[in-house]
């Protein structure tokens, strides 16, 4: 496990929830830095578990998963939280936003919650939020309540939040599933543009294979995961 170029590198990665059967058994997975990877598979094939492990919310066995050069399984829980806060942007399927904060506060959340992401901003937080919002075309919505936004707008706010401070790895868990066909393409193009500008790696999970042609590489988790069989 010494691939210097790999952003995410899994080797014999297994995981089971306490008292349960293994849900993930991954002999090999490698995602290079700057790569845009499409990971697809039906629900229940271990997608969310894999993403939780990569993000460090769940703890893998030591020596089985490297993210940005860190052995995630060997890190303590706070260290994994810091790694996630500083270097990983995360977009959920839907309902990404804290309903009682406005758009600006939602985008600024990762910086507000931990100091780790703060150090990545070049200018002031206010300025960084405005710039990122402008990149995603939501600069006019900054003072809106998030409950007044359409689903498409909400996902763009979520993307802006994930991209704030240009983290090395963006993880997107079916972020387009709540959008209609036209908006899906539009959202993806916007996401790609920003990921590319930032030089980030994108790990995109979906069960919608029609999107796979837009990515550098497509992986079927169902095929990779021996536990899913």
Partner 1 sequence: MFLPHLALRSLANRLLTTLLTVLSIALSVGLLVGVENVRTGMRESFSNTVSGTDLIVGSRGGTIQIMLYSVFGMGSPVANISHETWRKYDEHPAVAWTIPYALGDSHRGFRVIGTNGSFYEHYRYRGGQPITLIEGRTAHGVFDLVLGAEVAARLNYELGDRIAVTHGMSAVGFMNHDDMPFEVVGILDRTFTPVDRAIYVTLEGISAIHLGWESGAPPMPGQEVLAEDVLAMDEVPVSQITSFFLGAESRALTLQLQREISTHEEEPLTAVIPGVALSEMWRGIGYAEDGLRVISGFVVLVGILGMLVSIYTSLEARRREMAILRALGAGPKKIVSLLVLEAGLLSSVGALLGVGLVYAGIIGLQPWLEGRFGLLIPIQPPDGVQLAYVGAVVVLGLAAGLVPAAKAYRTALHDGLSLRI
Query: What residues make contact with partner 1 under the rule CB under 8 A?
Result: 17, 48-49, 51-52, 55, 57-58, 77-78, 81-82, 84-86, 90, 92-93, 95-101, 105, 109-110, 112-114, 116-117, 161, 173
CA separation for the pair 163, 136 (Å, rounded): 10
CB closer to partner 1 out of 33 and 93: 93
Torsion, CA 75, CA 121, CA 194, CA 101, rounded to 10? 90
Closest approach, Cβ 5 to partner 1, in A, equals 25
**Termini Cα distance of the chain:** 26
CB of 215 to partner 1, least distance (A): 21
Using the minimum distance from each CB to partner 1, give the nearer residue, 58 or 214: 58
Minimum distance from residue 91 beta carbon to partner 1 (Å): 9
Q: Which of 129, 92, 99 is nearest to 138 (CA)?
A: 129
CA 26/CA 18 separation, integer angstroms:
18
Minimum distance between the CB of residue 194 and partner 1, rounded to whole angstroms? 18
Smallest distance from partner 1 to CB 127, Å: 18
CB 162 within 8 A of CB 173: no
The nearer residue to partner 1, 35 or 102, going by C-beta atoms, is: 102
The phi, psi pair for 140, rounded to 5°, reads -80, -10
Cβ atoms < 10 Å from Cβ of 184: 21
Which one-letter DSSP state was computed for residue 15? E
Nearer of residues 2 and 143 to partner 1, judged by Cβ: 143
Cβ proximity to partner 1, 71 vs 105, nearer residue: 105
- The label of the residue with tokens 């697809």 reads 40
For the chain, how big is the Rg over CA atoms in Å? 17
* Distance, CA of 8 to CA of 205 (rounded, Å): 14
Indicate the residue among 59 and 220 with the shorter CB distance to partner 1. 59
- Least Å distance, CB 48 to partner 1, is 5
């Amino acid at each position: 496990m010494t691939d210097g170029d790999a952003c995410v590198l899994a080797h014999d990665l297994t995981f089971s929830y306490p008292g349960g059967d293994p849900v993930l058994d991954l002999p090999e997975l490698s995602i290079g830095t700057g790569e845009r990877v499409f990971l697809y598979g039906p629900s229940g094939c271990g997608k969310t578990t894999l993403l939780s492990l990569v993000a460090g919310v769940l703890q893998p066995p030591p020596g089985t998963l490297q993210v940005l050069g860190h052995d995630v399984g060997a890190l303590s829980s706070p260290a994994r939280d810091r790694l996630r806060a500083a270097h990983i942007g995360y977009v959920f399927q839907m309902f990404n936003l804290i309903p009682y904060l406005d758009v600006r506060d939602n985008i600024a959340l990762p910086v507000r919650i931990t100091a780790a992401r703060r150090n990545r901003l070049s200018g002031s937080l206010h300025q960084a939020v405005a710039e990122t919002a402008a990149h995603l075309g939501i600069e006019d919505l900054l003072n809106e309540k998030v409950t007044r936004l359409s689903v498409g707008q909400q996902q763009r706010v979520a993307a802006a939040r994930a991209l704030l401070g240009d983290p090395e790895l963006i993880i997107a868990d079916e972020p387009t599933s709540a959008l209609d066909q036209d908006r899906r393409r539009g959202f993806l193009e916007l996401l790609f543009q920003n990921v590319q500008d930032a030089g980030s790696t994108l790990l995109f999970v979906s069960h919608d294979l029609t999107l796979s042609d837009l990515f550098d590489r497509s992986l079927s988790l169902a095929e990779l995961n021996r536990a899913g069989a």
